[in-house]
Structure 1
Amino acid sequence: MTIILHAQPYDIAAQGFYFDTLEEYQAKAAKAVNDYGDPVEEFEIQFIDGDQIDCALAQAIGLCQSNIGQYFDAVEAWDDPQKRVVILAAGDCGYDFTDQTQPDDFDIEIYHIDSLRALAEQFVDEGLFGEIPGQLQHYIDYDAIARDLAADYSETEIAGIPLVYRCG
């Protein structure tokens, strides 16, 4: 799907414009003038239409004039799992998004499950708490384990996909 963005001038005497490529943005921004013929230099970049995950990426990185090139590069080059890593890193974990940012730069554990309780059940099934005899399995308090996991893990939803994650 094509991404449509809008450059809204901070100058109230100027008109904004829509664009869907970096080249189109640069060409239109270079020609933008206000009602008095003065050049417009600053724009707020607004996400208008596109995939939900690309919208979430724009929001997480704080899409603006200074990172619009990197944003377009990321949308083209990264797959959805890589975008999710950067969305969590820049949006929730406090990492910076720079022109050198790559999804592999971040130490984030992501589980494609919808709750901390489900993560607790997965950890027990994987043997994280050791071998649990069959007669004791019905007595495990998964809700208590989930509350403990909440100290390190968080729940979120990105583009309609529920996730549990932990920042490294």
Structure 2
Amino acid sequence: MTIKLHAQPYDISATGFYFTSAEEHDQKAKGLRNAHGDPVEEFEIQFIDGERIDCDLAKAIGINQANFRDYLDSVDTWEDWEKINVIIAVGECGYDFDPQVGPDHHGIDIYHVSTIRELAEQFVEEGLFGDIPENLQFYIDYDAIARDLAVEYSETEIAGERLIYRAS
């Protein structure tokens, strides 16, 4: 799906425009004039249409006039898991959006489970707590493990999917 953005001028006497590429933006912005015939130079960039994950990425990075080109490049080249890494790193953990830094270099551990309790169950199943005899498995307090995990792990929702993450 093509990303559609809108450049809304800060000058209220000028009319904004829609665009799908940096080249289209530059072409339309170059000829834009306000009611007094002066060139319009400053715009608020708004996400209008595209995939949900791309909308979440735009929100996370705070899409604006300075970074929309990098945003459009990232949307075209990154896979969904890379977008998720950046959305969490920038939008949730406070990292800066830098397209020159690979999306997998933020040190974010992501788990595709809906709750921290499910993460606790997954960790027990994977043997993180060692081998648990079968006759004791029914006595494991997953809620207590989830409360302990909640100290380092957080929940988020990206493009309609619940995720658990930890910034290392």
Structure 2 length as normaliser, TM-score? 0.97
Give SS of 1:13's match: coil
| Root mean square deviation, CA, Å | 0.9
Q: Which runs of 5+ in 1 are unaligned?
A: none
Q: Does structure 1 residue 45 correspond to structure 2 residue 45?
A: yes
Q: State the partner residue of 2:9.
A: 9
Aligned counterparts of 1:29 and 1:155: Cα–Cα separation in 2: 40
- Percent identity over the alignment is 63
Q: Which amino acid aligns with 2:31?
A: K
Q: Which amino acid aligns with 1:53?
A: I
Aligned counterparts of 1:129 and 1:153: Cα–Cα separation in 2: 17
> Contact 1:89/1:108 (CA < 8 Å) preserved in 2?
yes
Q: Does structure 1 residue 128 correspond to structure 2 residue 112?
A: no
* Residues matched between the structures, number: 168
Aligned counterparts of 1:133 and 1:105: Cα–Cα separation in 2: 38
Q: Which amino acid aligns with 1:86?
A: V
Q: State the partner residue of 2:154.
A: 154
Q: State the partner residue of 2:145.
A: 145
Aligned counterparts of 2:96 and 2:75: Cα–Cα separation in 1: 17
User: CA shift at 1:99, angstroms?
Assistant: 4.1
> Contact 2:74/2:99 (CA < 8 Å) preserved in 1?
no
Q: State the partner residue of 2:64.
A: 64
Structure 1 length as normaliser, TM-score? 0.97
> Contact 2:9/2:43 (CA < 8 Å) preserved in 1?
yes
Q: Which amino acid aligns with 2:97?
A: F
Misfit runs of 4+, over 4 Å: none
Q: Which runs of 5+ in 2 are unaligned?
A: none
Q: Which amino acid aligns with 2:117?
A: R
Aligned counterparts of 1:69 and 1:18: Cα–Cα separation in 2: 14
> Contact 1:120/1:146 (CA < 8 Å) preserved in 2?
yes
Q: State the partner residue of 2:31.
A: 31
Q: State the partner residue of 2:88.
A: 88
> Contact 1:60/1:91 (CA < 8 Å) preserved in 2?
yes
Give SS of 1:65's match: coil
> Contact 1:67/1:99 (CA < 8 Å) preserved in 2?
no
Q: State the partner residue of 1:77.
A: 77
> Contact 2:85/2:108 (CA < 8 Å) preserved in 1?
yes
Aligned counterparts of 1:114 and 1:99: Cα–Cα separation in 2: 29
Aligned counterparts of 2:105 and 2:64: Cα–Cα separation in 1: 22
Give SS of 1:6's match: strand
